[in-house]
Amino acid sequence: MPEVSRFFGIVVKMFFDDHNPPHFHCYYGDEMAMVEINTLSVFAGHLPPRVLGLVIEWATVHQEELLENWNRARNHESPNRIEPLR
């Protein structure tokens, strides 16, 4: 599963040829959540509220890039790196 971005201890990844809806996986320590790209809502897993806020802030800025990477990964192409939250 390629890493798309990393910031503040949060790792964002996407699986190749993953199931719908378009989403990304976020890891923070032992916690993990899957976030739908179109709605920016968590549909599986859990992250601490502060961490989730950072993820949503980052994803809001990079939503178009995330959708592009989703399409790349679905086609078995490596997703591009996305600028971390600073």
Distance of alpha carbon 5 from alpha carbon 23, whole angstroms: 14
Q: In which band, very low, low, confident or very high, does the pLDDT at 57 lie, cut at 50, 70 and 90? A: very high
- How many Å is the Cα radius of gyration of the chain? 11
pLDDT band for position 63 (50/70/90)?
Answer: very high
The pairing of beta strand 3-7 with beta strand 10-13: antiparallel
Domain spans in the chain, listed from the N-terminal domain onward: 3-74
Looking at residue 1, what is its pLDDT?
76
Amino acid letter, 52: L
Q: What is the pTM of this model?
A: 0.94
The reported pLDDT for the residue numbered 3 is: 96
Q: How does DSSP classify residue 26? A: E
pLDDT 10s digits, 1-47: 799 999 999 999 999 888 999 999 999 999 999 999 999 999 999 99
